[in-house]
Chains A and B, each alone.
Chain A
Amino acid sequence: MTELLTNPLSLLVLLPAAAGLALLAVPVKKTAALKGFALAATLLTLLAALFLYAGFDPAGRGMQLRFTLPWLPAYGINYALGADGISLLLIMLTAVLMPSAVLASFSYIKEGQRAYYMCLLFLEASMMGVFAALDLFVFYLFWEGMLIPMYFLIGVWGGPRRVYAALKFFLYTMAGSVLMLVAILWVVAAHHAQTGAWTFLMPELYGGALTPDAQFWLFAAFGLAFAVKVPLFPFHTWLPDAHVEAPTAGSVLLAGVLLKMGVYGYLRLAVPLFPAAAAVFAPWLAALGVTGIVYASLVAWAQKDIKKMVAYSSVAHLGLVILGIMSFEPAAVSGAVLQLVNHGLSTGALFLLVGVLYERRHSRLIEDYGGLAKVMPCFSAVFMIVTLSSIGLPGLNGFVGEALILFGSFRVYPWLAGAAVSGVVLSAVYMLGMYQQVVFGPVRHPENRILPDLNPREWLYLLPLLIFIALIGVRPAPFLKRAAAAVDNYITLAHPRAAAPWSQNEQ
């Protein structure tokens, strides 16, 4: 039982959850203490995540730092955690984004602060849980449980249309996920029928001999849940509403982490559990991804609201990631995994920057700004770096991921990859266009003349993201190396019979 606390993965789940509960002990009125406590909790979690990173063996294959505690033995349910390179990177991403999200809320959130920080901490616990779960039941528990804090974050502390956005977010995700529950039950029942053992452990369920017909429907059920979460075109309509209405920290975590869960679901569950069906669905999903890239880029181009534009750009970026993981090609999948982190960092930073503007002017419309370079030079410089990272400028993180995905997937889906390039071009068009209108030119509105530049707290929460944006851009190798074994695993599981995935399409 002590392992509950000594295992770094378990600690990463329990620490934020316990901190969230402990917040109840802080009086509501003492807002400084509340903020300090929440920040300390996320920093401690980050520290624990660093220990996890240090203890992770980059060369090791399979799940590391495993932890299993029997929970409901009669049903074969274990509280089982473990991490491979993919989960490691996403856990690190979550841990890095959280303190920034908390810091960014200090001045933005004025009412119900205790409940707000509790929601954030519970959300962190469940996000960690999703990435660390090795048991299908535990995975589903965290996957759905996450909806409650996010629902309140959007619905209580969000913008004017928050109720609509929160309901839509909850109902879409729930409706997408319930059939996954049935599919999970089916998989476990089929495994029981075959082996006589009840288990929800993912590694034991991989490679089960399900008929292609059953796999088709099961993949469809899992795939729908994940497609809603990614979100894949045409299941993306909840996303712009949720992102725009959520408070800054909510948008950061939605875009930075929650969207990654959908892709993670494909990587960890849908494809390895049902490889035969995955082979059938992959081209279609890749095509949906590419459709999403083009469609969302065009829609983003037409937006007048910066936050909405960033939201649609997320749909485009995630479409590219889906193209990468559905090509089952090492370079593309590695690129996609790295791109998950990149997107979390750059879109997270973009939402933080939009939040900075909104707190000053209470507007997110592009036309309300202009000429900020003169008024807020530091802000404009940071905004520049993040924008360039988002559109994939070489030397920054976005380039590495996008290039790997495009090169890799070109071998498998030449036409789709070719079409996807248009998205990269379009993203440069709309992002730079927006940047130009906001930052350059004359100061069109007199009230913008007095906007203060970034304050130390804002620097503090932007800096970690900037460091990683630059670091991954210059030296992606350590990150790619850690994910390599997991990516190989994924490709092997996706092609159970093919030993050499590189030669797959030359055959």
Chain B
Amino acid sequence: MNSEPLAYAANALAGPLLLAAAAFACLLLPLFIKALRGTQGVIALSAALAALTFLRRPPMAEIGFFGGTLILNPASAYLWAFGFAVLAVILVLSLARPPAGEDSGGEYYFLLLMASLGLLALIAAGDLFTAFIALELLSLPLYALAGIRRSRPGLEAAYKYFMLGAFGSAATVMGIALLNSVYPDLAFAALMKAGAPEPLALAGFVLVISGFAFKTALVPFHMWVPDAYEGAPTAISAFMGAAVKAGGVIILWRLFRIFEYGPVRELFWWLAALTAVAANLMALAQTGLKRLLAYSSVAHAGYITVAFFGGQRGFEAVLYYLPVYAMATIGAFAVALALEKEERGPAIEDLAGLAKTRPWLAAAMAAFMFSLAGVPPLAGFFAKFFAFSAAVNTGSTGLVAAAVIMSAVSMYYYLKVTVVMYMKPAQAAQEYRPAGAVEAVIFLMAAGVLLAGLFARPVLALAAEASRWF
């Protein structure tokens, strides 16, 4: 290993280390230094921003740590950058609208930073076992975060999320155990070379895949999503939608590409098709904004899985898809946060007349909806286009046809939001607590979905470079 990659690696690891340090600082320092009480959010945010400044253009090489359990390559660098950026935005939202009570210590920020660390580890995981540990590091803080308000909806969210999540984790562990009984080496690189799996290994793969499908929220492993998204603090819902999904997607992709054909491929085919169909149909009936976004996030996980079938080009599309989807979802959740009057978030009807009372906010929300629906010229269209184009190129036309038809169905519920905002008169006085930071996030995300499509080339170039390394 020459010195250039090593210097880069040191630089790159500074980010996660900073987050870890900040996490403990948030938790412990205010106990001893009174002046720091209430500033935990600021500490966390500065750590995330500082971590962003450590980002460098990665060298075209793969660097393994700890015997290859963590792998740093352009792909993980790309997704780490994504993770830091999402974390920073979520922290801004949390600072503007503290989800936990005033008297709470730094545990909210500690948990959020720990979950982010888990996400970073998941992205860089070099073998299945590391991936599992990273997944737990990601999930456990999130269970607590979902219920951090200790209110009924919050506790229900946390409880459901934990019960079903534990089930998913158990499936993953069981699968890993089965796999380990067949393959001594669980590194992804080694699994790639293992050849066609025997029945026991196949069962292992299926279990592991279902475990990660829980995190990614693919139908039929999505049951926790609507309740968890609805009951969790809105900033955390946005984090779950934008970041946690990305972690699951990466591992699913690593598992997907082990198989050129065979039953596992078929399993993915069914997961993708079922998710695209069922999630969109279930979303049609939703009345709560956060629940709608929850089902929308499930549907998008389906589209992402469709892109898997496009091979490396498909993964390039996924890498473009994740930030584009994240911007629209975070933006929409931020709008929900701005209009929130009870913990479950606003009902769709509560947005009535928003175009009259807050035209800019309504315009931004419309942009998010059209982007999620995939209407040009918004970025969401480009993301879907790249994803589906890759899948058609490799002959998965039937799956893509199902996905695009369902995406036309999804138009209905995204349009419903714009109908309420633009074409219904406002009923009662709207709950709106202006907060500059929340609005700043909303407009930043709106600018993103407006421009990331028409000027997709630089992002796409990075994604193309990164996609070669998975």
Binding site for B on A (CB under 8 A): 71-72, 74-75, 112, 115, 137, 140-142, 144-145, 147-148, 151-152, 155-156, 162-163, 166-167, 170-171, 174-175, 178-179, 181-182, 185-186, 188-189, 192
A–B Cβ pairs within 8 angstroms, 18 of them: A72-B460, A75-B389, A140-B376, A141-B376, A144-B375, A148-B375, A151-B418, A152-B422, A163-B419, A166-B419, A175-B405, A175-B408, A178-B407, A182-B388, A182-B400, A185-B388, A185-B389, A185-B400
Task: From the candidates B376, B388, B405, B418, name the one contacting A144 in the complex (CB within 8 A).
Answer: B376
Mask, B414-429, CB within 8 Å of A = 1, is 0100110011100000
Task: Name the residue among A155, A156, A178, A192 with the largest chain B CB count within 10 angstroms.
Answer: A178
Q: Which residues of A contact B377 (CB under 8 A)?
A: 141, 145
Binding site for A on B (CB under 8 A): 355, 359, 370, 375-377, 381, 385-386, 388-389, 392-393, 397, 400-401, 404-405, 407-408, 411-412, 415, 418-419, 422-424, 456-457, 460-461, 464
Task: From the candidates B381, B412, B422, B456, name the one contacting A171 in the complex (CB within 8 A).
Answer: B412
User: Contacts A189-B392, A189-B393 hold; do A72 and B456 have CB atoms under 8 A apart?
Assistant: yes
Q: Do A182 and B404 have beta carbons less than 8 Å apart?
A: yes
Q: Do B388 and A74 have beta carbons less than 8 Å apart?
A: no
Task: From the candidates A167, A170, A185, name the one contacting B392 in the complex (CB within 8 A).
Answer: A185
Q: Do A171 and B404 have beta carbons less than 8 Å apart?
A: no
* Sample of 7 more A-B contacts, CB < 8 Å, known A152-B422, A179-B401: A75-B389, A141-B376, A155-B418, A155-B419, A163-B423, A171-B415, A182-B392
User: Contacts A155-B423, A185-B388 hold; do A148 and B400 have CB atoms under 8 A apart?
Assistant: no
Which chain A residue shows the least CB distance to B394?
A: A189
Q: How far is the CA of A179 from the CA of B405 in the complex (A)?
A: 7
Q: Do A181 and B388 have beta carbons less than 8 Å apart?
A: yes
Distance in angstroms from A334 CB to nearest chain B CB is 33
Which chain B residue shows the least CB distance to A187?
A: B392
Q: Which residues of B contact A115 (CB under 8 A)?
A: 359
DSSP class of B's interface residues: helix, strand, loop or mixed?
A: helix
Q: Do B376 and A145 have beta carbons less than 8 Å apart?
A: yes
Q: Do B376 and A167 have beta carbons less than 8 Å apart?
A: no
Distance in angstroms from B449 CB to nearest chain A CB is 13
Which chain B residue shows the least CB distance to A146?
A: B376
Q: Do B397 and A182 have beta carbons less than 8 Å apart?
A: yes
Q: Which residues of B contact A137 (CB under 8 A)?
A: 385
Q: Do A167 and B389 have beta carbons less than 8 Å apart?
A: no
Task: From the candidates B404, B418, B423, name the one contacting A181 in the complex (CB within 8 A).
Answer: B404
Q: Which residues of B contact A74 (CB under 8 A)?
A: 460-461, 464
Q: Which residues of A contact B408 (CB under 8 A)?
A: 171, 174-175, 178
Q: Which residues of A contact B359 (CB under 8 A)?
A: 115
Q: Which residues of A contact B376 (CB under 8 A)?
A: 140-142, 144-145
Of all A-B residue pairs in the complex, the 5 with the closest CB atoms, nearest first, are A185-B392, A178-B404, A141-B376, A145-B376, A189-B393
Distance in angstroms from A245 CB to nearest chain B CB is 11
Which chain B residue shows the least CB distance to A141?
A: B376
Q: How far is the CA of A178 from the CA of B377 in the complex (A)?
A: 15
User: Contacts A145-B375, A155-B423 hold; do A179 and B404 have CB atoms under 8 A apart?
Assistant: yes
Q: Do B388 and A156 have beta carbons less than 8 Å apart?
A: no
Q: Do A178 and B393 have beta carbons less than 8 Å apart?
A: no
Q: How far is the CA of A181 from the CA of B404 in the complex (A)?
A: 8
Distance in angstroms from B204 CB to nearest chain A CB is 35
Q: How far is the CA of A71 from the CA of B453 in the complex (A)?
A: 11
Q: Which residues of A contact B386 (CB under 8 A)?
A: 75
Task: From the candidates B393, B401, B404, B422, name the one contacting A192 in the complex (CB within 8 A).
Answer: B393
Q: Which residues of A contact B375 (CB under 8 A)?
A: 144-145, 147-148, 174
Distance in angstroms from A157 CB to nearest chain B CB is 10
Q: How far is the CA of A181 from the CA of B407 in the complex (A)?
A: 12
Which chain A residue shows the least CB distance to B393?
A: A189
Q: How far is the CA of A141 from the CA of B370 in the complex (A)?
A: 13
Q: How far is the CA of A166 from the CA of B424 in the complex (A)?
A: 13
Q: Do B423 and A166 have beta carbons less than 8 Å apart?
A: yes
Q: How far is the CA of A71 from the CA of B424 in the complex (A)?
A: 39
Q: Which residues of B contact A151 (CB under 8 A)?
A: 415, 418
Q: Do A162 and B423 have beta carbons less than 8 Å apart?
A: yes
Distance in angstroms from B454 CB to nearest chain A CB is 9
Distance in angstroms from A363 CB to nearest chain B CB is 23
Q: Which residues of A contact B404 (CB under 8 A)?
A: 178-179, 181-182
Q: Which residues of A contact B411 (CB under 8 A)?
A: 170-171, 174-175
Q: How far is the CA of A175 from the CA of B385 in the complex (A)?
A: 16
Distance in angstroms from B443 CB to nearest chain A CB is 13
Q: Do A178 and B419 have beta carbons less than 8 Å apart?
A: no
User: Contacts A162-B423, A182-B400 hold; do A71 and B457 have CB atoms under 8 A apart?
Assistant: yes
Task: From the candidates B397, B401, B419, B460, name the one contacting A167 in the complex (CB within 8 A).
Answer: B419
Which chain B residue shows the least CB distance to A185?
A: B392
Distance in angstroms from B386 CB to nearest chain A CB is 7
Q: How far is the CA of A456 from the CA of B386 in the complex (A)?
A: 52
User: Contacts A145-B376, A155-B423 hold; do A170 and B401 have CB atoms under 8 A apart?
Assistant: no
Which chain B residue shows the least CB distance to A70?
A: B457
Q: How far is the CA of A171 from the CA of B407 in the complex (A)?
A: 11
Task: Name the residue among B389, B456, B457 with the largest chain A CB count within 10 angstroms.
Answer: B389
Distance in angstroms from B130 CB to nearest chain A CB is 32
Q: How far is the CA of A115 from the CA of B366 in the complex (A)?
A: 13
Q: How far is the CA of A152 from the CA of B377 in the complex (A)?
A: 16
Q: Do B397 and A186 have beta carbons less than 8 Å apart?
A: yes
User: Contacts A148-B370, A179-B404 hold; do A156 and B423 have CB atoms under 8 A apart?
Assistant: yes
Distance in angstroms from A224 CB to nearest chain B CB is 12
Q: Which residues of A contact B461 (CB under 8 A)?
A: 74
Q: Do A170 and B405 have beta carbons less than 8 Å apart?
A: no
Distance in angstroms from A222 CB to nearest chain B CB is 14
